[in-house]
Structure formats: structure tokens, C-alpha cells
Chains A and B, each alone.
Chain A
Amino acid sequence: MMQKLINTKQFTILVFILTMALKLFMFPTLILKIAGHDGYLVIAIALLIEFIILLMILYIFRLFPDLTFYEILEQTLGRITAKALVAVFAFYQIIKISLAINEIKLFFTISATVNISWPISVIPLVFLFAFCAVKTLRSIGRFSEFLCPYILISMIVLMVMFVGNIDFENLLPFLNISPKKFFTGIYHFPIWYADFSLLFIFMGKIKQSKFFVGWSLIGFAVSSLLVVFFSCILFSSYTNIPELLDFGHNISNLSLFSTSHTYGRFDLLIFTIWIITVFIEAILLFYMVTRNIAYIFEKENYPIISAIAAVILYIVSVFVFKSDQVLYTFATGIMVYFTMFFEFILPVFVLLSASIKKLWEKRKQKEEMKAEDEA
């Protein structure tokens, strides 16, 4: 039996973190530009889609608690096809890490106004990802578990800071946008809101408690509420502060209006804690990339694999995606199809093949029992 590396608690926390990670910074801004102050509804629908995907993945985990993602792919697709699929999956994940790195870059260079050379700063970042990928999933689980209270507390403190100062009436009137804009918002940005295919790396490695599904859904629900709340703040402020169209990806800037200069921008320190979620998602993505490579080449030399993956990631995020514009064009262009395939179709496919496999196993078992009885 596969060694169980993380427990239900840690998995719940990871669901909480992944739900929030890429949805709090650039995503609301991009939606804002399309859907205006009704954008929070688009986000809510995106979260609903995520919810369905999460349910499917959790069901697969329940169905096959001891089977890994690679095993199930191999059993349904055959070794060669499974390896080809995993290779494309790794490519998709490298792009997604580049997106996460870009979020970190934007946060620190624009929100936190750090004037640093980004191509140089990516080196330690990539090194961190490689370092984490050499360790086990257990370490990532513990790491998330340790940081989760700080993330949650910082989010609550920010909420309290905002609540009294934001005029939520600006969100009215409801549904002031056309359904087409709704669809555009959902269609163009799945790479930002669809994050759960990553959970497949945990398949067969979770020590599932009785309320495994329930806890995971609670983690998702809490995180979703926070995402919607902060989106509402951004979208309600939009009416009052048109400059947010330029600086909209900086939710933290909003708090400047709430707290004024008297206390300084201490909110920035709190908001910095949120970016940890993006770090964790990037770490997990990179971890899965290394495991995908290991599976393709059937090698388990993770330090070497991590080093190679790190070099590829560096080249992609610094040289291929030279500017934000290039990255966003790619992410909202061809990558939409990749995302839809890996985030929406893959879970459905795995669920179907897992269900068929289960049915087949049951049938076989019944036939064996029948044969035994007859004998």
C-alpha cells in the first residue's frame, strides 16, 4: 500500500490555500475590466465551477484511496498515452507556475514598490521551488499547516479594516452586465480560477478521515467566501476610485484609503502574508512537474530532475514570457484550451475511468465469488 504522506487536516488547508491563491490579485482586476462592478458574480460562478471539479476529485479520492494518479492513468490509457498526457500536463503546469511567479512579481514591484531586478530575483524563487520539490509531500503539507493560521488571521484583519470603510452600495444595481460579458469572464481566465487538477498529486497519499470530503469542502467554502468578499471590496471601490483601473490589481492599495497615512501602510505587511498562498501553489505545481518528469523517464533522482525543471522554468518565465503582456496573451489565448482540458475534462475523464474500473472490479469479484460458490 502507498505510504500516506498527508492527513485530512493538511489536505483541507491545501484546498483552502489553492482556492484563494491565484484569485485575489490579478484575477479580480481582469474580471473588473470586463464585467465592471458585477465582476464579483463572475467570480462566484467561477468558484461554483471549481466546487463541482473539487467534488469530482474528492469522489475519485474516496473511490480509490490507494491508487495514484499515474496508476489510474496507466490502467485506463496505457503506459505510452499516459506518459504523453503527463508530459503535456507538465508543460501546462510550467506555464501556470510562470503565472504564479508573475503574480508575485506584480505584487512586490507594484504593490510593495520594490525596485529590484526581476530576472535576478526569479533565481532564488526557482531555487526555493527546486529545494521544496526534493523533499516530500509531507513537508509541503506541514508547511501549509504551519502557515495557514497566519494567512487566515491576516485575511480576517484585512476584512475588519475594510468593512467599515467600503460603501457596498456601489455594487448596486445587480446584474448590470450582459450575459455575454459573464461568459467572456468565465471563458477567458480559467487559468486563474481553475486550480484543482493539482490535487491529483495527492491521490493515494492521503490518510483520509471519516469526514474527509466534508472538511475539504469547508476549506473550500471559507476560502471562497474570502475571495468573494475581497472581490466585492475591489468592485465596490471601483465606482469611487477610477484609478483602480490602472492600479486595480492592488487590493492592498485600497486599504490606504481606509487607514490613511496616520498609521503608515502596515496593511501592506498583513497583505504580504496572503502572497504566501501563491508561493505554496507554485511550490506544489513545481513538485508535480518534477514527479511528472520522474514518471515519464522512470527515474527517481529528484535533485537532478528538480534542477532541470528549475532551469526550464527560469527560461520560460524570464526569456519566453519577457513581459506581462506576452504572458497574459498566451494565458488567455491558447492556454485556455489547455486549462479547460486539464482542469475540467481531465477530472471528468479520471472520474469516469475510475468509476468504470470500480464497476468492473465489483463485477469481477462477484463472478469470482459465484464461481467459488459453484465450486
Chain B
Amino acid sequence: MSKFENKVNSILDVFATKERMGKREFKSGTRNGVLLFDPDMSDSEAIREILFAVEHKCTAKDLDDVKKSTVYNGEITKETEKTKIIESLLSGDAALAIEGSKGWLIINVRKYEKRSVMEPPTEAVTKGPREGFIEDLKTNLSLIERRLRTPALAIEKFIVGKVSNTTVAMLYISTIVQPELVEKIRKKINTINIDSLVDSHYLQPLLEPHPLSLFHQTGVTEKPDIVVAKMLEGRIVLLVDGSPMAITIPFLFIEDFQNSQDYYERHSFSTFLRFIRYISIIIAVLLPGLYVALQVFHYDVIPLRFLVTLMDAIKGIPLSPVPEILFVILLFEIIREASVRMPRAVGMAMSIVGGLVLGETAVNAGVISSPSVMFVALSSIALYAVPNDVGIFSILRVVFVFAGGLAGLFGLLYATMFVLFYIVSLDSFGTPFMAPFAPLVFDDLKDALVKRPLLDMKKRPKSISNINETRQK
């Protein structure tokens, strides 16, 4: 076997099945050459063009000549390291070698099926950009780069996953972001030792300082306009190839209460919506627990007329308040989970059956009372005012029902204090999780408690450390 054949086989032998890689031999002048590529992930047209060029036009003596004068491709590099050549082949690039010339030419011929850019279902808006990320990293990068035409936009790429070899892109604006934060994340990514990174959600617990926490300490979004806005506040963005979700770091709890539409509406209406979201979450988490606490321990808190109505409604109900509310919550959670997984054709019908018929029948049958259904329904609707935290608040809601049912206002107060203390003690990469409320950063309240007009946002948020605080003059 010739030296050249050995060189080619050393690459092909790595693959479990040799058929996995396409191999085309050619003659370039008097020399033998070979082109390796992944037929499933590469553009056959581009392959044909390369082969045509090297077989018919090539007078090149070595690979450098081929790179300079034969193959006209924007992304072409020379590589000698075997692992990198294999990584490139697995990513859909082609590898070209010529007998007597050292190394391989890596040519970008990637082409694979991807869905088109569309409005993300998780973050629908009535105003503002409707584009959302897709599963293709290159497309996602282009969506950001199109919005940030500055040389200060830094893009660093990492390969994560021993088996999946997934590309992770770290993006930041070098003139804004705190360099220590970049270094911290870079180090953290480099220390990840995992088989595969199926989605960006896999990356979250690997990066977060408290991975077991109920609260996520990194942000997730599907919208490029949100990503760009966050980068302009000094955050770092991570994109994972194969995932439409971008991760933003550091993350503040308040971010889940902000919506991209807040920035496209009149500020007064956005402020109103912010308050609605805060009230909604208080209702969502506390209402069922408070209802149980008042019913079991503190009925004197309930106004007399309402108390009479309530007593009338709960008369004859076999369950005591705590199991009753828990039963209604369980009913709701089952309906919710089933309607998400159900085929769309029957989903709507089943939701009506579940929500209206089942609820109505249960009340009429005297299994549950109508106030319980009403309070749980109100709480459940309110949960969706902050869709990113539905999971967290659903769990807390159950905890608060137990707390209120077991010890009334004492239990509720205790649970509230415990949860609050836990949240305020969290940090996300050196940024206090509950900023700008705890610690109080007064200047940042203009985009937290309320939403001030854009003209007032002259400085970047102080809660997130950055090296350039001026946003506009």
C-alpha cells in the first residue's frame, strides 16, 4: 500500500462503517488525489464543481496551489491535524488530498435540510420582529449578525460533546461585555465533559452555578431581537448547533417578566402590562394556598357576605379544603399535559371536554365546589402571564397549598419567606439573581418595575456589569 493510500485510510478507518464517507479519487495532472465527504450532509453540486476543477483545470503542484487557483470556495482551509479533519468531515465539509502534498484541504460544502425561519411558537408577539431561531447554527448566526453590524461582535466557537461533536457559538460585544465574564464562561465550556449536546437546554445545567435549583439561572429565548438587546446590555449569548434556543448569561429573574413586545409598545401600556404580570404571578402562586388557609383557619378574614356565599357553595362537599384544591389542581395539570401531547385534531375538543364538561360535572356531582374550580382556574390562567416560569410556579403553587392548609397564614408566610430568601441568595455568574430589587439598583427599576420610554434608557443596566455604560447621549 502506498504512502498516500495509508494517509487516506488513516482517516477512513476511524469511521465505524467505511460507507459513511463518500470517496472520489481523481487525477490532478500526473498526481493522484482523493476527495472525502459526507454524502448526507454535503452539497452534491459543490462536490461536482470541486471534482471538475481539480480534474480538468488543475495544474497545481500542491494543496496550496489548489487553494489559491483551482477551487473557488469562500471557506477553504489547510489542515494537518487528524481529529480536526474528522470533525470537519462530520460537520459536512469535504477533505481533499493530493499525493505528495502534506495535509488536507477542508472545503465547506455543507448542505442539509433545515426548516425556514418562522415566528417562534413560544414567544409570539403582535408587534415587533417575528423571526425566530431555527436548528441551523449558521442561519442563527446570520440572524444576529444582520442586526449587529459591528466588528465588536465577537463569535467564538467550541466543540462540545465527545460523541456528538456539537458546535457551540459564544457571542458577545467586546466593547460592552465584562472580559472576566467571557473568561469565566469560556473556562466553563472548556471543562464540559459530556457525550452529546442534543439541545441548548442540555447546556444550561452544565453552566449554571446551582444546577439543582428550581430556578433557572440562565435565560433562554428563541428570538434574535431579544438576543441582540441582551447582548447590548452586556450579556453573553450561547448558540448550540441543532437548537433553536439561545442561552443568555447572566440572567436576572426579572427578565422572565419582560416581553419583547414591551419595547415596541407605548411605555405606559408596557408598564401596565408589567404590573399585570406581577399581579398574575402573585395570584397564580398564592391564591389557591390563601383560599385554603382562609377556609381552614381564618374565615374571619373573609367578608361576611362572601363567607355566607362560600359556606353555601362548599356545603356537602366530601373533601376537606386541602385535598379538594389539590384534586382540582391535579385535574388541571392532567388536562394541560394531555392537551399539549394530544394530536391537534382532537386537542381542542378534548380541552373543552376536560375543562368545561369535567369541571361542571364534578361541581354538579358535589365532588368539588365551584369556588375551588374558580380559584384554581384563575390561578392557572395567571400562570401563563409569565410563560417561561410556568413549571416553577406550578410547583410552588402546590407547595403553598400545603403550607396554607397545614398552618394557615403562618404556613404561607413561612413558605413565602423561605422561597424569597432562597431566590435572593442566588447569583447568576456574579450578578444578583433578584437585581434590581435585591439588591436595590434604583436606576434599573425603569426597566423592571415599570417600563420607561426609550429616551430615558441612557445607560445600560447597572445590575449587569459591563465596561461601557453609556447607551445613548
The docked-state distance in angstroms from the alpha carbon of A275 to that of B416 is: 13
A142 touches B418 (CB 8 A): no
Task: Write out the residue numbers on chain B whose beta carbons fall within 8 Å of the beta carbon of A261.
Answer: 303-304
B429 interface contact, C-beta 8 A: no
A125 touches B414 (CB 8 A): yes
B438 interface contact, C-beta 8 A: yes
A114 touches B440 (CB 8 A): no
Binds B, one of A64-72, A81-89, A232-240, A263-271: A263-271
B410 touches A143 (CB 8 A): no
Query: Given A116-B408, A272-B409, A279-B417, do A145 and B439 touch, yes or no (CB 8 Å)?
Result: yes
Task: Write out the residue numbers on chain B whose beta carbons fall within 8 Å of the beta carbon of A114.
Answer: 297-298, 407-410
Contact of B301 among A9, A131, A139, A264 (CB under 8 A): A264
A265 touches B437 (CB 8 A): no
A77 interface contact, C-beta 8 A: no
B112 interface contact, C-beta 8 A: no
A132 interface contact, C-beta 8 A: yes
B407 touches A147 (CB 8 A): no
Task: Write out the residue numbers on chain A whose beta carbons fall within 8 Å of the beta carbon of B418.
Answer: 128, 131
| A283: nearest chain-B partner, CB-CB | B421
A33 interface contact, C-beta 8 A: no
| A9: nearest chain-B partner, CB-CB | B440
A142 touches B434 (CB 8 A): yes
A179 interface contact, C-beta 8 A: no
A178 interface contact, C-beta 8 A: no
B302 interface contact, C-beta 8 A: yes
The docked-state distance in angstroms from the alpha carbon of A121 to that of B407 is: 8
A276 interface contact, C-beta 8 A: yes
A139 touches B424 (CB 8 A): yes
B399-412 CB contact bits vs A (8 Å, 1 = yes)?
Answer: 00000001111100
Task: Write out the residue numbers on chain B whose beta carbons fall within 8 Å of the beta carbon of A132.
Answer: 421
B409-436 CB contact bits vs A (8 Å, 1 = yes)?
Answer: 1100110011011101100000010100
B300 interface contact, C-beta 8 A: yes
Task: Write out the residue numbers on chain B whose beta carbons fall within 8 Å of the beta carbon of A7.
Answer: 439
Contact of A139 among B417, B425, B437 (CB under 8 A): B425
Task: Write out the residue numbers on chain B whose beta carbons fall within 8 Å of the beta carbon of A306.
Answer: none
B307 interface contact, C-beta 8 A: yes
CB distance from B306 to the nearest CB of A (A): 7
A270-293 CB contact bits vs B (8 Å, 1 = yes)?
Answer: 001001100100010000000000
Task: Write out the residue numbers on chain B whose beta carbons fall within 8 Å of the beta carbon of A142.
Answer: 424-425, 432, 434, 438-439
B409 touches A141 (CB 8 A): no
Contact of B307 among A139, A264, A275 (CB under 8 A): A264
CB distance from A337 to the nearest CB of B (A): 33
Task: Write out the residue numbers on chain A whose beta carbons fall within 8 Å of the beta carbon of B425.
Answer: 135-136, 139, 142-143
The docked-state distance in angstroms from the alpha carbon of A213 to that of B81 is: 65
CB distance from A139 to the nearest CB of B (A): 4
A143 touches B303 (CB 8 A): no
B157-192 CB contact bits vs A (8 Å, 1 = yes)?
Answer: 000000000000000000000000000000000000
A124 interface contact, C-beta 8 A: yes
A113 touches B407 (CB 8 A): no
Residues of A in contact (CB 8 Å), total 38
A112 interface contact, C-beta 8 A: yes
Task: Write out the residue numbers on chain B whose beta carbons fall within 8 Å of the beta carbon of A264.
Answer: 300-304, 306-307
Task: Write out the residue numbers on chain A whose beta carbons fall within 8 Å of the beta carbon of B406.
Answer: 116
Interface footprint category on B: 20 to 34
The docked-state distance in angstroms from the alpha carbon of A135 to that of B438 is: 15
Query: Given A10-B439, A264-B304, A265-B300, do A146 and B420 touch, yes or no (CB 8 Å)?
Result: yes
Task: Write out the residue numbers on chain A whose beta carbons fall within 8 Å of the beta carbon of B302.
Answer: 264
CB distance from A16 to the nearest CB of B (A): 14
Task: Write out the residue numbers on chain A whose beta carbons fall within 8 Å of the beta carbon of B414.
Answer: 124-125, 128
Task: Write out the residue numbers on chain B whose beta carbons fall within 8 Å of the beta carbon of A104.
Answer: 410
A115 interface contact, C-beta 8 A: yes
Contact of A113 among B300, B422, B432, B434 (CB under 8 A): B300
Chain A residues 66-118 with CB under 8 Å of chain B are 104, 108, 112-116
CB distance from B213 to the nearest CB of A (A): 13
Task: Write out the residue numbers on chain B whose beta carbons fall within 8 Å of the beta carbon of A124.
Answer: 414
CB distance from A135 to the nearest CB of B (A): 5
A113 touches B297 (CB 8 A): yes
The docked-state distance in angstroms from the alpha carbon of A121 to that of B403 is: 11
A325 interface contact, C-beta 8 A: no
Query: Given A124-B414, A142-B438, A261-B304, do A112 and B421 touch, yes or no (CB 8 Å)?
Result: no
CB distance from B407 to the nearest CB of A (A): 5
| A146: nearest chain-B partner, CB-CB | B438
Task: Write out the residue numbers on chain A whose beta carbons fall within 8 Å of the beta carbon of B417.
Answer: 128, 276, 279
B229-254 CB contact bits vs A (8 Å, 1 = yes)?
Answer: 00000000000000000000000000
A301 interface contact, C-beta 8 A: no
A269 touches B420 (CB 8 A): no
A262 interface contact, C-beta 8 A: yes
Contact of A272 among B413, B438, B440 (CB under 8 A): B413
B438 touches A112 (CB 8 A): no
Task: Write out the residue numbers on chain A whose beta carbons fall within 8 Å of the beta carbon of B410.
Answer: 104, 108, 112, 114, 116, 121
Query: Given A262-B304, A264-B300, A276-B417, do A112 and B440 touch, yes or no (CB 8 Å)?
Result: no
A23-52 CB contact bits vs B (8 Å, 1 = yes)?
Answer: 000000000000000000000000000000
A275 touches B413 (CB 8 A): yes
Contact of B421 among A139, A266, A268, A272 (CB under 8 A): A139
The docked-state distance in angstroms from the alpha carbon of A141 to that of B304 is: 40
Task: Write out the residue numbers on chain A whose beta carbons fall within 8 Å of the beta carbon of B300.
Answer: 113, 264-265, 268
Contact of B297 among A112, A131, A275, A279 (CB under 8 A): A112
| A273: nearest chain-B partner, CB-CB | B413
| B433: nearest chain-A partner, CB-CB | A142
The docked-state distance in angstroms from the alpha carbon of A76 to that of B418 is: 39
Query: Given A112-B297, A114-B408, A116-B408, do A276 and B303 touch, yes or no (CB 8 Å)?
Result: no
The docked-state distance in angstroms from the alpha carbon of A141 to that of B432 is: 12
The docked-state distance in angstroms from the alpha carbon of A276 to that of B417 is: 8
B299-316 CB contact bits vs A (8 Å, 1 = yes)?
Answer: 011111011000000000
Task: Write out the residue numbers on chain A whose beta carbons fall within 8 Å of the beta carbon of B422.
Answer: 131
Task: Write out the residue numbers on chain B whose beta carbons fall within 8 Å of the beta carbon of A9.
Answer: 439-440
B434 touches A268 (CB 8 A): no
User: What are the nearest 10 A-B pairs in CB distance?
Assistant: A139-B425, A146-B438, A142-B438, A264-B303, A142-B424, A108-B410, A114-B408, A265-B301, A135-B425, A265-B300
- List residues of A whose CB falls within 8 A of some B CB: 7, 9-10, 104, 108, 112-116, 121, 124-125, 128, 131-132, 135-136, 139, 141-143, 145-147, 261-266, 268-269, 272, 275-276, 279, 283
- List residues of B whose CB falls within 8 A of some A CB: 297-298, 300-304, 306-307, 406-410, 413-414, 417-418, 420-422, 424-425, 432, 434, 437-440
Beyond contacts A139-B424, A268-B301: 18 other A-B pairs, Cβ-Cβ < 8 A, are A108-B407, A108-B409, A113-B300, A114-B297, A114-B407, A115-B297, A116-B407, A116-B408, A131-B422, A135-B425, A142-B425, A145-B437, A146-B438, A264-B304, A265-B298, A268-B300, A269-B301, A275-B413
28 contacts between A and B (CB under 8 A): A9-B439, A104-B410, A108-B410, A112-B297, A113-B297, A113-B298, A114-B298, A115-B297, A116-B406, A116-B407, A116-B408, A128-B421, A131-B421, A136-B425, A139-B424, A143-B421, A143-B424, A143-B425, A143-B438, A145-B438, A146-B424, A147-B420, A261-B303, A264-B303, A265-B300, A265-B301, A279-B413, A279-B417
